[in-house]
Amino acid sequence: MRRHFAAAPWSTGLKVTSLLGTVVVLAAAVFAYRAVPVPTGFTHAFGVGVALVPVALLGGALLFVVSGFAVEGNVLLIERLVTSTRVPLDGLTKIAFEPQACKGSLRVIGNGGLLSFTGIYYSKALGRYRLFATDFSRSVVLTLPRRVVVVTPASPHAFVAHLRSLYPAAEAGVAPGTERPSTG
């Protein structure tokens, strides 16, 4: 059975970064095109090709936008506009809603805010991890035997509850700052 979860609405930071990034990329394409010499020949064709690189970059970012998540059997599907990224959930050891999980992270490779935050990131708390995000405050951390994955569903609590029902042996994480004091 397949259960779908919408991606979190875009955070203000993602909206601003995407808007500024789009303006810069399109401006670079326009300026590059205007700098193309001579109206015909190889030099013109090469210049037009160079001017189209920023447009292709924007198109690529659009294709990889995170539009939702689905859990189908033992696989998490990160839904994109055209395709899905499959993350096998075999051996899931921890499921945690952690709104501060990405704080202080460094991007190793990937997209840092042009229509989404995706790729491989690193933080002291999580180590190296895969990120599929639109709003960091809704981060859910999934710890698997060989990797950590962070996703941002619109309803993190419903997403976590569903995964906990499928993987009852997985440790339930507690968001930082919400730990209960010990009564011992």
Residues 6 or more apart from 140 whose CB is under 8 A from it?
95, 96, 97, 98, 150, 151, 152, 153, 156, 159, 160
pLDDT at 129: 98
Q: Mean pLDDT of residues grouped by 10 in the chain (184 residues)? A: 96 97 94 84 88 93 95 96 95 96 96 95 97 98 96 97 94 55 42
**What is the chain's alpha carbon radius of gyration, rounded to the nearest angstrom?**
20
Fill in the amino acid letter for 97: F
Q: What is the pLDDT of residue 174?
A: 54
Cα separation, 99 vs 136, whole angstroms: 6
pLDDT of residue 43: 85
The identity of residue 90, as a single letter, is D
CA dihedral 130→112→15→51, nearest 10 degrees, is -130
Half-sphere exposure (CA, 13 Å, Cβ side) for 8?
26
- Name the residue ranges covered by the structural domains of the chain: 1-169
Phi/psi for 13 (5° steps) reads: -60, -40
